[in-house]
Amino acid sequence: MKLFLDTANVALIREIAAWGVLDGVTTNPSLIAREGRDFVQTIAEICDLIRGPVSAEVIAPDTEGMVREGKLLAGISEHVVVKVPLTPAGLGATRQLADAGIRCNVTLCFQPAQAILAARAGAAYISPFVGRLDDLGQDGMQVVRDIAAIYAKNPDIKTQVLAASIRTVAHVEAAALGGAHVATIPPKVFSAMVQHKLTDAGNEAFMADWAKTGITDVAAEVARWRAGR
């Protein structure tokens, strides 16, 4: 499963990209507004930094407007994936953009039937919102599993399942087990994924034991060893 970062904060993207595990980024109008920066410049910077799929969302309410905005956004970088809402107008725009060779991430999916429509419209990605369904007392991850199963039974569908509205590390793990092709993860969950108290305790114990050797410069030790061969 590929890992995308769900943020428009360039500094955080740069930080997590340095881990070597980041495959792409998703943004939305709320995330862009939160940063208070120029929209196009922000998307361009993210594309230069990641060199992977970067979702940028249209805001027009009608198909014609979405298509126009989508083509403009796609012109920012080859890495831009146009994010389109799962509405009748959004489906129409997805079809037109897909026919023009522009990848679309159809967002705000809450049931498998919507995912079937998005796939038929030519979506590159479908984004079921796990956390928002959980908030309503429903099993958001079951929707991910159901969509993945439907797509698997229809090999002509090339749309990838992008688990979104991820709230916890458990969500990430369940998405991977449930057949999602991608999970888009907020920075705080990305940070939580790498942390475990036993990892921290074990590392501290190793470093304490290592201090007893008196070696503080491994590079110097390797150089000395090579010189004595």
The C-alpha atoms of residue 67 and residue 84 are separated, in whole angstroms, by 10
The C-alpha atoms of residue 213 and residue 205 are separated, in whole angstroms, by 14
Q: So which residues are the catalytic ones?
A: 83
* Long-range CB contacts for residues 101-104, cutoff 8 Å, separation at least 24: 102/70, 102/71, 102/74, 103/53, 104/70
The C-alpha atoms of residue 70 and residue 31 are separated, in whole angstroms, by 18
Closest CA relative to residue 107, chosen from 129, 79, 137: 129
Find out whether 102 and 70 touch, Cβ atoms under 8 Å.
yes
Find out whether 118 and 86 touch, Cβ atoms under 8 Å.
yes
DSSP string, 54-122: EEEE---SSHHHHHHHHHHHHTT-TTEEEEEESSHHHHHHHHHHHHTT--EEEEEE-SHHHHHHHHHTT
